[in-house]
Structure 1
């Protein structure tokens, strides 16, 4: 199984229960990195009676969950599946309803001993619940800082990923009117979520082309790629392509290929770590990362809404690798370690991490002779997006039906469904 190729720093521990609120779309590796039990708690419905046989519906529901877990788990060779299934079944003994099997599914997830796998009840399933609209943690923010542009990229777990991509693009267009010579991307608060919404939003800074890959337990590989407003997953052999998100518009920087400083910390997790890795390797803008080690969720979950109640089971199925073919699966070291705040309370505020990033950018030739540019009066109009001939497109989150797997590669399982849990 893939092993980290860089020294591993011991996991950081935090008092909060959820380290990465994940995957409004894990639809595509997004990601729910969790620590603690709260996200896995079952909902009510009355406790099962251990003296009563499990109902056929409950047994089918639990079997679907366990079959899916065993099929896709990245580290499946580590697991004694006979023992895991027995423990899960024992935890759900006497279950008559789907909700009463949740303790069994929680037991299975816990026995994977994997922090990125998780289970959510229907009422809080990723992709079905909006992020808090008034919480600044989840809001996009930007600022001009002299010759530089600062962009705060927040986590996203809401129901409108296109809207989030569009909001980031709007901020990028506004910041770019000052003609910045370099960009600061702050992902220190980015706990993860729907990666495609974030990548589509920053694509003018990142640039088109492949930016990351994932590998499953059988060494199958696929790549994430961008083209204008579109974010897709591509498989080379046999060739297949899946468009996972298309923003409402595209944009090109006034100074394409401008250098990028990335601010990271130990809250940076999952989709936040994807942004860090997206800038590593050839073919992308000059970049450097600053701060602390990341949270260590550089794996890719694969999710399914279990029928019939649409509880969400999200199992680690892949590991990330960058364009240098370096495989991760653990924390990402900063290219320049800086002692400073890992959590941002006021996006854009000055601190040692920001200062180090600013110094690096201003010392680069792109900025050394650049003059401060006045902001233009008008934001350029968005470029309408057509729809090129992708092999197929991912369904919108609100269109997913119970039993439909989220189409995350390399499994490309969007059309496969689980058996309905009915009598």
Structure 2
């Protein structure tokens, strides 16, 4: 089986929105592109467009190493936790983020602005003391099966503290999943701008030529059971979300 045939079969059998696609037409078009000397990326363009999830894509053979680590500070009793994107297993990401949350504070701002995603598990490992022991986030596959996230140990419990969540148009993918995890949490309000609009779960599937497909196989579901398949609007749109978040937290 050629790489393009492998890719189409994976998309047909695993993609969340596979039922939207006329696979016979998409396959014919992809094979025609390849036979005329086109690239695999060009051949799969119609398939990705037909799925319409805006998240499935062809990626290179390598994975980017971990970049920034979480950071933060506490000023006048209000903590600010900045969560950047994370690649791979996350390394020291969760440990560093948890160290920020151990600082005494009466309220927290979780800043996800500019976080374009990556591995969601280290991000949730940082913030789960704020999220409680409920199933605060699930990813639902097209079969209806759900992969659930919840804090089962909760060695540190910060669930009684108010939380402001900041996000913007570059908050994407798994970072949007973190936004969803805070939806429905008491004493929580979000500020900023609508997210990128891909709050969906991807799996990485390797192809025989060394490239890989990131395939959208699930959609995010919050603790109230609401599915999130597009951009997430903040509770309060503002051009200065940190200032407004601190003001709101000061009023509680």
> Do Structure 1 and Structure 2 share a fold, with TM-score over 0.5?
yes
Q: Which residue of structure 2 lines up, in the alignment, with residue 164 of structure 1?
A: 93
1:151 aligns with 2:51: no
Map 1:65-214 onto structure 2 (within 5 A). 65-93=7-35, 101-122=40-61, 124=62, 128-131=63-66, 133=67, 138-157=68-87, 159-173=88-102, 176=103, 179-214=104-139
- Distance change in 2, residues 1:354/1:102 (3 Å): closer
Alpha-carbon distance in structure 1 between the residues aligned to 2:150 and 2:116: 22
Map 1:9-408 onto structure 2 (within 5 A). 59-93=1-35, 101-122=40-61, 124=62, 128-131=63-66, 133=67, 138-157=68-87, 159-173=88-102, 176=103, 179-228=104-153, 252=156, 256-281=159-184, 284-307=185-208, 309-338=209-238, 340=239, 352-364=240-252
Alpha-carbon distance in structure 2 between the residues aligned to 1:86 and 1:166: 49
* Contact 1:106–1:119 (CA under 8 A) maintained in structure 2: no
| CA distances 1:216-245 after superposition (whole Å, capped 9, x unpaired) | 2233333222334xxxxxxxxxxxxxxxxx
- Tell me by how many angstroms 1:153 deviates: 0.6
- Tell me by how many angstroms 1:256 deviates: 4.7
SS in 2 for 1:272: helix
Alpha-carbon distance in structure 1 between the residues aligned to 2:36 and 2:92: 44
- Extract unaligned runs of 5+ from structure 2: none
SS in 2 for 1:276: helix
* Contact 2:69–2:96 (CA under 8 A) maintained in structure 1: no
Q: Could you say which structure has the higher strand fraction?
A: 2
| CA distances 1:354-387 after superposition (whole Å, capped 9, x unpaired) | 12111111111xxxxxxxxxxxxxxxxxxxxxxx
SS in 2 for 1:129: coil
SS in 1 for 2:116: coil
* Contact 2:20–2:50 (CA under 8 A) maintained in structure 1: no
Alpha-carbon distance in structure 2 between the residues aligned to 1:129 and 1:191: 13
- Tell me by how many angstroms 1:194 deviates: 0.7
Q: State the TM-score, normalized to the length of structure 2.
A: 0.90
CA RMSD of aligned residues (A): 2.3
Q: State the TM-score, normalized to the length of structure 1.
A: 0.55
Q: Could you say which structure has the higher helix fraction?
A: 2
* Contact 2:137–2:222 (CA under 8 A) maintained in structure 1: yes
Alpha-carbon distance in structure 2 between the residues aligned to 1:160 and 1:181: 31
Alpha-carbon distance in structure 1 between the residues aligned to 2:226 and 2:131: 19
* Contact 1:169–1:251 (CA under 8 A) maintained in structure 2: no
Alpha-carbon distance in structure 2 between the residues aligned to 1:103 and 1:336: 40
